[in-house]
């Protein structure tokens, strides 16, 4: 079996999630039907909704099941733009393409919130921009921010940003996809009007996520179809997927001590790489990070080549987010933090619920062996 260290892309499904899905599949029934099978399906769906809502810090009635983070972000942007006062969108340079490209695709004026060298957003820039916001010209502020940057694991100051945005009577979308089981993100305390989450980042099934909408947020989305999910997302709900999502969330909450302990394994890998390559640069290393993520670059050594070499050794890592893999350009968040040349040399090692110390030892051995092979050439280039 390969050593899997790409949990920020997707986390292998937890046994608890698989079991919950199989049980839900055995029930059958359309949750909109009034007969017994339909009522059983509805009960499973609503219990799952309550579990996920509780974990993210919101009410069940504010959570809409979707197909994942991308759909949730796009629905949130569409919902915010139903507010006639919104004329501009502020989006962080660190955002996932679902929000970053989604904002640019609206046709609205988009302003980009810059990042600091630490890997966090520039809160002072945002504060200054909101202080100088001309409501008559700019309309109502609408801001899109990630709670945790996928490519670095850097925890963003969304609570502080949320307070600023609320004070300016703005709207805030938080991409919280990388938070479940990893940070203390709480929708109710964040000041957010919208948030997106995804099951497969926490060991649930792929193709399931949720959109959270606060009770005071615009959300006049068109009702096209059967009107399920309070008209926000028509179509028969994915009951097994929702049950798998809920079971994965429960397991993540239960395993919090193990997850916190991943920091020691991450640091072990980081220390080993730095020992072999003292010039290595940890991207986002000076900011608060989730315990499971290491983004590191070796000047002159292409990140994609490292991914291929380790894949041949039976180890799965990445050179950025899964949604940006295969693109000719370096990941935008890395480029914003360290510049394009160094960003092209980055790799991301992300640990998860089934990562062991033996996995990290195997990674270290393979990486150092490969580095020893290419190091003379890198020195010649330098």
Over residues 204-221, the pLDDT tens digits come to: 999 999 999 999 999 887
Runs of H (alpha helix) within the chain? 15-27, 36-56, 69-80, 97-104, 123-131, 135-138, 158-167, 187-190, 239-254, 256-276, 303-312, 332-338, 340-343, 357-381
**Could you say which of 224, 253, 282 is where a domain stops?**
253
Clarify whether residues 169 and 109 are in a common domain. Answer: yes
Beta-carbon contacts of 358 under 8 Å, excluding residues fewer than 6 positions away, are: none
Q: What is the β-pairing status of strands 63-66 and 209-213?
A: antiparallel
Cβ 289 vs Cβ 155: under 8 Å: yes
CATH of the domain at 288: 3.90.1150.10
**Could you say which of 231, 253, 275 is where a domain stops?**
253
Clarify whether residues 193 and 316 are in a common domain. Answer: no
Q: End-to-end CA distance of the chain: give it in Å, rounded.
A: 37
Beta-carbon contacts of 119 under 8 Å, excluding residues fewer than 6 positions away, are: 94, 149, 152, 154, 283, 284, 285, 286, 287, 333, 337
Clarify whether residues 94 and 232 are in a common domain. Answer: yes
Beta-carbon contacts of 45 under 8 Å, excluding residues fewer than 6 positions away, are: 31, 65, 237, 239, 242, 243
Clarify whether residues 203 and 67 are in a common domain. Answer: yes
3-state helix, strand, coil in the chain (%, to 5): 45, 15, 40
Query: What pLDDT is recorded for position 325?
Result: 52
Active-site residue identified among 40, 83, 316, 323 = 323
Clarify whether residues 282 and 157 are in a common domain. Answer: no
- Asked if 323 is an active-site residue, the reply is yes
Spatial separation of the C-alpha atoms in residues 210 and 151, rounded to whole Å: 21
Clarify whether residues 173 and 26 are in a common domain. Answer: yes
Query: What pLDDT is recorded for position 328?
Result: 61
Residues of the chain with pLDDT under 50: none
- The partner residues of 107 in beta bridges, in order of sequence, read none
- Residue 169, SS3 per DSSP: coil
Cβ neighbour number for residue 226 with a 10 Å cutoff: 12
Spatial separation of the C-alpha atoms in residues 284 and 296, rounded to whole Å: 9
Query: What pLDDT is recorded for position 233?
Result: 86
Clarify whether residues 260 and 247 are in a common domain. Answer: no
Q: What tens digit of pLDDT does each residue of 133-169 get?
A: 999 999 999 999 999 999 999 999 999 999 999 999 9
Query: What pLDDT is recorded for position 236?
Result: 86
Query: What pLDDT is recorded for position 224?
Result: 79
Spatial separation of the C-alpha atoms in residues 265 and 106, rounded to whole Å: 42
Q: Which domain holds residue 290?
A: 3-11+256-381
**Could you say which of 218, 253, 288 is where a domain stops?**
253
């Amino acid at each position: 079996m390969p050593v899997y260290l790409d949990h920020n892309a997707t986390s292998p499904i937890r046994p608890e999630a698989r079991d919950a899905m199989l049980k839900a599949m055995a029930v059958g029934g359309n949750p909109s039907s009034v007969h017994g099978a339909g009522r059983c399906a509805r009960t499973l769906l609503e219990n799952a909704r309550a579990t996920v809502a509780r974990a993210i810090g919101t009410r069940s009635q504010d959570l809409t099941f979707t197909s994942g983070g991308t759909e949730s972000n796009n629905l949130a942007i569409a919902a915010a733009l139903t507010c006639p006062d919104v004329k501009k969108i502020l989006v962080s340079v660190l955002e996932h393409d679902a929000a970053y490209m989604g904002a640019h695709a609206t046709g609205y004026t988009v302003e980009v919130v810059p990042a600091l060298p630490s890997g966090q957003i520039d809160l002072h820039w945002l504060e200054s921009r909101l202080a100088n916001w001309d409501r008559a010209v700019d309309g109502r502020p609408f801001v899109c921010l990630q709670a945790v940057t996928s490519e670095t694991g850097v925890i963003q100051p969304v609570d502080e940003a949320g307070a600023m945005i609320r004070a300016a009577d703005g709207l805030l979308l938080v991409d919280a996809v990388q938070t479940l089981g990893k940070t203390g993100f709480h929708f109710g305390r964040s000041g957010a009007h919208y948030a997106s989450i995804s099951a497969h980042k926490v060991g649930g099934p792929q193709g399931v996520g949720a959109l959270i909408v606060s009770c005071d947020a615009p959300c006049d989305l068109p009702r096209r179809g059967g009107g399920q999910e309070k008209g926000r997302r028509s179509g028969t709900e994915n009951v097994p997927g929702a049950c798998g999502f809920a079971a994965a969330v429960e397991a993540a909450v239960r395993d919090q001590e193990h997850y916190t302990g991943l920091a020691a394994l991450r640091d072990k890998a980081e220390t080993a790489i730095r020992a072999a390559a003292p010039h290595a640069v940890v991207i986002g290393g000076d900011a608060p990070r989730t315990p499971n993520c290491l983004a590191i670059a070796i000047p002159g050594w292409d990140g994609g080549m490292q991914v291929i070499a380790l894949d041949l050794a039976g180890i799965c890592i990445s050179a950025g987010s899964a949604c940006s893999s295969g693109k000719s350009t370096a990941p935008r968040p890395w480029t914003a933090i360290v510049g394009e040349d160094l960003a092209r040399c980055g790799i991301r090692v992300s640990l998860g619920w089934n990562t062991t110390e033996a996995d990290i030892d195997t990674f270290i051995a393979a990486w150092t062996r490969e580095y020893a092979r290419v190091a003379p050439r890198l020195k010649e280039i330098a």
